[in-house]
Chain A
Amino acid sequence: MSAIITLSLLAVLLLYLGLFKAKKALLPVSLLGLLAAIVLYSIQWDTDAEPLYSGMVLFDHFAVAFSILSLFITGLVFLLSRDYFDSISEHVAEYYALIIFSLTGALLVVSFHNLAMLFIGIEIMSVALYILVGIRKRDFSSNEAALKYFLMGAFSTGFLLFGITLIYGATGSFDLTEIKNYLIANPHSISPLFYSGILLLIIGLSFKVGAAPFHFWTPDVYEGAPILITTFMSTVVKTAAFAGFLRLFLTCFVPLQDFWAPVLLVITVLTLFIGNISALAQQSFKRMLAYSSISHAGYMLFGILSIGAASAGAIFVYSAAYSIASVVAFAVLILVKRSRGSEHFEAFNGLAAKNPYLAFTLSVAMLSLAGIPLTAGFVGKFMMFSGVLANYHIVLLLLAVLNAAMGIYYYFRVIVAMYFRPADREEVTVNANYKAVLFIGALLTIAIGIFPSLLAGWL
C-alpha cells in the first residue's frame, strides 16, 4: 500500500513541479518515484499477504508481480517521453501526473480484494486516460479518440457496476473471499442474479481489455491518441485490466466454470479472428498494432479460459513479453514518424540500411509479437497454448495456431519493408534514452526467450 500512496503523492508533486516551472526535474523525479515504488513492492514479496484496510486490497505474489511489471513498463514509457511531450503540449507536468494517476489505478486493479476496489481502480485508471487521449487539444483525431473512449468507457463501466450490484445482491458482499464462500456453501442453489452478474462482469471487463465484440473503440482510440499514450494504454492498462479480470475469476468464479467458459470461448475466438483479419488489411503501422493488440487480448483470454494454477503465470509472462515488444515497436514508430511524418508501412522502407540498430530491435520486437522461438513472445504463447491443451480444447488450439500464422504475415511486413524495400531516406536521429529503451527491450525479449525461468518462476 505504501507504494500506491507514494505514487499518488508523486503525481501531486509532479503537478506542483510543473507549476513552479521545474520542467527539467519532471523526468528524474518521476523515474525516482517509480523506482521507489518498485523497491517498496519488492520488500513486500516475502511477507505473508493479508487483506488490508477492511479487506479492500491484498498484496499477494500475484498483485506484487503484476504491479512491478506495470511500474517497469511505465518507467520505459517515461524514458521515451523525453522531448516527446514537449512537442505536443505545454502542459508537460500534467502528462506525467496523469500517467502516474492512471498507473495508481492500474495498481489498485491488480491488487483488489473487494469489488468496490475493482471499480474504483478501473475508474482511476480510465478517467486519467480519457484526458491523456485527448491531450492534443487542437488535433481532430485526438478529440475524436477521447470522446469515443470516454463514451465507450462510461458505457462499459455501467455494465461492470450492474454486474457487481447483481453479485452483491446474490451474495450480500463485495469481498472476494465472501463471494467464493457463498459459491462453495451453496453449490446447488446459486441465485440467478449471480449468473447475470457474471455475464455483465464479462461484458464490462471485455470492454476494458478490448476483446471482440466489445473492441470497437480500440482501433480509433489507439490511432487517435498520441503514440506514447497508445503505448501506455496497450501495455500497462491492458496488463492491469487482464490481471484484474483473471484475479476476479481465479479467486471467485472457478466453481462456475461450466457456466461462463462457453461465453468466454466465443469471445476469445471472435477476438482472435477479428483482430488478426483486420490487422492483415491495415496500411498504417500504428493501426496494425492496435488490431494486433486486440488479437493479443484474444491470446491472453486463453489464460482465463483454461483457468487454473498455471494461468496467472501464463498471463504474467505473456503480458510481459507483449508489453516489452510493444514498447519497442512504438518507440521505433515515434522515431520514424518524427523523421518521415507518416505511420504507414512505406515509411519503414530501407530503414535497415541507414539505421541497422533500429531495424534490428524492431525486428526482434516483431518476432516476439509473432511468437517466433527464442523470443519472449514464444514463451508466452507456449505457456498459453499448453494451458489450453491441458484442458483438451484441441479445436481452440488449432484456431489459435491458424491465427498465429496470420500474425506472422503482418508482423513480417514491417521487417520486409525495412530490409528488402530500398528507399532514399535520411538517417533517423536516435537520442540516448531511446537507444537505452530499445536495448533493454530487445535484450529482455531475447533473454526471456532463452531463459523463460527468469519470469516464469515468479508466479
Chain B
Amino acid sequence: MTQAEAVNTSANYLPILFQLIVAGGFGVGTIIITHLIGPKVKTENKLGSFESGIEVIGNARQPFSIKYFMVAILFVLFDIEVIFMYPWAVNFRQFGLSGLLEMFIFMALLLLGFIYVIKKRALEWD
C-alpha cells in the first residue's frame, strides 16, 4: 500500500526526467562536439549531394507518383484501426459475448472498406 502511494509522488518521476535529459543531451551533445572538433575539408565533391556514386541530374523537388501516396495512406488508415483492438483485447473478458460481436461488426465494416479499396483499384500500381 505504501509502495503504491510512493509511486504517485512526482519525485518518483525524477529518474525519468534525468533519463530524458541524458538521452536528449547525448544526441545533441555528440552532434555539437563533432561539429566543433572534427576536421573540415571542403571540396566540391564533398559539398555536392551524394546519390550512391551516381552524378546528380535535375532537381530533387519533383512531384512523385501519387500511387505510393495511396498505398501509404491506406496503410496508415488500416493500421490505425488496430489501435482500437488493444483496449478491446485488454478488456476482452469483461466485454463478454457482446464485446466479441461488436468487434466482429467493426472488423466486418473494415473488411467492407477493404473490398471497396480493392474494387476501386486503389492498390493497383499501374
CA distance A16 to B119 in the complex (A): 9
Determine if B112 and A19 form an interchain contact, defined as CB atoms under 8 angstroms apart: no
Contact B109 A12 (CB under 8 A): yes
Chain B, 69-126, CB within 8 A of any chain A CB: 109, 112, 116, 119-120
Bound-state Cα–Cα, A303 to B119, Å: 48
B residues less than 8 Å from A19 (CB atoms): 116, 119-120
Contact residue range for chain B?
A: under 10
Instruction: Chain B residues near A12: list those with CB within 8 A.
Output: 109, 112
Interface residue tally on A, bucketed by range = under 10
Report the nearest B residue to A19, measured CB to CB: B119
> Number of A-B pairs whose CB atoms are under 8 Å?
8
Main secondary structure of the interface of A (DSSP, over half): helix
A394 CB to closest chain B CB, in angstroms? 54
A272: interface (CB < 8 Å):
no
Is A15 an interface residue when CB atoms closer than 8 A count as contact?
A: yes
Nearest CB on B from A249, distance (A): 32
* Complex Cα–Cα for A19 and B116 (A): 8
Whole-angstrom CA separation of A19 from B120 in the bound complex: 7
> Contacts of B116 on A, CB cut-off 8 Å?
15-16, 19
Q: Which residues from 1 to 25 on chain A have a C-beta closer than 8 Å to any C-beta of chain B? A: 12, 15-16, 19
Q: Name the residue of chain B whose CB is nearest to the CB of A8.
A: B109
**From B116, which residue of chain A is reached at the shortest CB distance?**
A15
The distance in angstroms between the C-alpha atoms of A126 and B109, with both chains bound, is 21
Type the 1/0 row for B11-34, where 1 means its CB is closer than 8 Å to any CB of A: 000000000000000000000000
A residues less than 8 Å from B112 (CB atoms): 12, 16
Least CB distance from A216 to B in Å reads 28
For the complex, what is the distance from the CA of A19 to the CA of B112, rounded to whole Å?
A: 12
CA distance A15 to B119 in the complex (A): 11
Residues 10-52 of A, flagged 1 when their CB comes within 8 A of B and 0 if not, give 0010011001000000000000000000000000000000000
- Chain B residues within an 8 Å CB radius of A15: 116
Contact with A along B41-85 (1 / 0, CB 8 A): 000000000000000000000000000000000000000000000
A residues whose Cβ falls under 8 Å from a Cβ of B? 12, 15-16, 19
Q: Which 6 A-B pairs have the closest CB atoms?
A: A19-B119, A15-B116, A12-B112, A19-B116, A19-B120, A16-B116
Pull 7 A–B residue pairs with CB atoms less than 8 Å apart, ordered by A.
A12-B109, A12-B112, A15-B116, A16-B116, A19-B116, A19-B119, A19-B120
Given A16-B112, A19-B119, A19-B120; 5 other pairs, CB 8 A cutoff: A12-B109, A12-B112, A15-B116, A16-B116, A19-B116
